[in-house]
């Protein structure tokens, strides 16, 4: 796993703030006091199970839905229609006009956000090239493959050069090349252009790789938030991995304070009590067979997620 990426400087602190949002749909509580911030120049991953409240929170931030209680603020002020023109949104349910031509549609959407026609066309053409959209820019959207339609949908969110990007499952359905292209675009939007970026995804490996911070929502409430390192510290477990060659015995059972967490193809992950010396584990492992790997285990975001929502 690559080492931690240096964080870009926060130029003006949080630009988007969701403050104590509540939303109910009849008897279903979708949001129950949700609060978090998205800083300038940062990528924030918004993760949770299906139905946890992610899409509802995003739609309230963008003015698509109203909150029952709470508010959304942009640079410390309430969000109005003029402010939302500076936002970019990619919904999970794609919202392109299928009969409209690709380039024409992007120019039209950019002009709705206030861009001059020449600037809108230049931005649209640049994005189609950057996102590697395969197909004629003069073709109708419905003629493109689903993956290319998704790239055009992302271009629609970016074409007016937004200060805030809100993306709902943007990686869904993309092939590995498309995932790499989109990842690079989001990183440039944050690192180079200073945009605040928040996206939801069930692909937690991507969230872990791309995001500066993570907000984990469960049953309409924020269950955890912070950097990956902060989340690991907050839920620290003394886990050690041992890999032996061709050993079938439960060799670790002779060590007090040792609990197996998972085992796979000769590799065992053990949770050690605070009184258990890892060197003792290594000594016993060596007496059982050839040790191929030994060391502490940092939980992945997927493991942290499972622990939080279980």
Quote the percentage of the chain above a pLDDT of 70. Answer: 96
Q: Are residues 226 and 281 in the same domain?
A: no
**More confidently predicted of 269 and 9:** 269
**Together in a domain, 256 and 224:** no
- 272 has a pLDDT exceeding 50: yes
**Over the stretch 105-117, which tens digit does the pLDDT of each residue have?**
999 999 999 999 9
**159 and 301 fall within a common domain:** no
**Whole-number pLDDT of residue 302:** 86
Q: Is 260 found in the same domain as 162?
A: no
Q: Who contacts 289 (Cβ-Cβ below 8 Å, separation ≥6)?
A: 244, 245, 246, 247, 251
Beta bridge partners of 89: 166
On whether both 219 and 261 belong to a single domain, the answer is no
Better pLDDT: 13 or 183: 183
User: Is residue 200 within 8 Å of 59, Cβ to Cβ?
Assistant: no
Evaluate if residue 176 carries a pLDDT over 50: yes
In a domain, 65, yes or no: yes
| Same domain membership, residue 242 and residue 104 | no
Residue ending a domain, among 169, 198, 233, is 233
Q: Are residues 78 and 224 in the same domain?
A: yes
- Dig out the tokens for 254 from the structure: 């002779």
Comparing 8 with 160, which gets the higher pLDDT?
160
In a domain, 8, yes or no: no
Same structural domain, 169 and 282: no
Domain containing 192: what range?
14-233
Q: Which residue, 233, 263, 286, sits at the end of a domain?
A: 233
Per-residue confidence band for 89, with pLDDT thresholds at 50, 70 and 90: very high
Residue 181 lies in a domain: yes
* Predicted pLDDT of residue 234: 80
Reported as a single tens digit per residue, the pLDDT across 121-145 is 999 999 999 999 988 999 999 999 8
Most confident of 1-10, 65-74, 77-86: 65-74
> What pLDDT, on a 0 to 100 scale, did the predictor assign at position 13?
62
CA dist., res. 238 & res. 297, Å (int)? 8
pLDDT, tens digit, for every residue of 34-51? 999 999 999 999 999 999
pLDDT of 52 higher than 50: yes
Going by C-alpha positions, the residue among 226, 293, 221, 280 that lies closest to residue 254 is: 280
User: How many alpha carbons fall within 13 Å on the CB side of residue 172?
Assistant: 14
How many separate domains does the chain show? 2
Minimum mean pLDDT range among 62-66, 73-77, 93-97, 104-108: 93-97
pLDDT above 90 for 174: no
Assess if residue 47 is contained within a domain: yes
Shared-domain flag, residues 199 and 103: yes
Domain presence at residue 2: no
Query: What value does the mean pLDDT take over residues 14-21?
Result: 93
CA 306 – CA 102 distance, rounded (Å): 40
Using an 8 Å Cβ cutoff, are 49 and 38 in contact?
Answer: no
Domain co-membership, 43 together with 156: yes
Helices 117-130 & 102-112, crossing angle to 10 degrees?
Answer: 130
Q: What number is the average pLDDT over the span 293-299?
A: 90
Tell me the CATH number at 262: 3.30.70
Q: Would you state the pLDDT for residue 4?
A: 39
The mean of the pLDDT values for the chain is: 90
pLDDT digit string, tens, across residues 24-35:
999 999 999 999
- The answer on 155 and 293 residing in a single domain is no
Where is average pLDDT lowest: 56-65, 101-110, 144-153?
A: 144-153
Point out the domain boundary residue: 212, 233, 254: 233
Decide if pLDDT at 229 tops 60: yes
Residue 34 in domain: yes
Residue 2 confidence (pLDDT): 42
Judgement on whether residues 109 and 256 belong to the same structural domain of the protein: no
Is 5 domain-assigned? no
9 part of a folded domain:
no
Q: For position 247, what pLDDT does the model report?
A: 82
CA pair distance 31, 20, nearest whole angstrom: 9
Whether residue 280 has pLDDT greater than 90: yes
**Confidence check: pLDDT of 163 > 90:** yes
Q: Quickly state the pLDDT bin for 307 (edges 50, 70, 90).
A: confident
């Amino acid at each position: 796993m690559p080492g931690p990426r240096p964080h870009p400087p926060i130029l003006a602190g949080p630009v988007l703030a969701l403050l104590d949002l509540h939303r109910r749909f009849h008897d279903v509580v979708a949001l129950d006091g949700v609060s978090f911030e998205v800083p300038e120049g940062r990528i924030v991953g918004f993760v949770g199970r299906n139905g946890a409240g992610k899409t509802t929170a995003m739609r309230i931030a963008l003015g698509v839905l109203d909150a029952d209680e709470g508010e959304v603020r942009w640079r410390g002020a309430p969000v109005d229609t003029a402010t939302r023109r500076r936002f970019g949104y990619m919904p999970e349910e794609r919202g392109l006009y299928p009969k409209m031509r690709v380039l024409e549609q992007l120019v039209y959407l950019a002009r709705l956000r206030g861009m001059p026609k020449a600037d809108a066309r230049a931005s649209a053409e640049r994005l189609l090239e950057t996102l590697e959209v395969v197909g004629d820019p003069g073709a109708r959207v419905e003629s493109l493959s689903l993956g290319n339609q998704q790239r055009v949908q992302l271009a629609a969110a970016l074409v007016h050069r937004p200060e805030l990007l809100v993306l709902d499952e943007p990686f869904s359905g993309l092939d590995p090349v498309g995932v790499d292209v989109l990842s690079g675009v989001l990183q440039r939007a944050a690192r180079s252009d200073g945009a605040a970026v928040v996206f939801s995804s069930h692909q937690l490996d991507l969230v872990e790789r791309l995001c500066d911070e993570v907000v984990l929502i469960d049953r309409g409430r924020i269950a955890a938030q912070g950097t990956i390192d902060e989340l690991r510290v907050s839920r620290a477990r003394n886990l050690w991995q041992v890999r032996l060659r061709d050993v079938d015995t439960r060799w670790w059972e002779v060590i007090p304070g040792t609990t197996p967490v998972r085992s796979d193809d000769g590799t065992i992950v053990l949770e050690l009590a605070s009184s258990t010396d890892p060197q003792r584990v290594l000594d016993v492992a060596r007496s059982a067979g050839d040790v191929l790997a030994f060391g502490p285990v940092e939980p992945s975001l997927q493991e942290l997620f499972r622990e939080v929502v279980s």
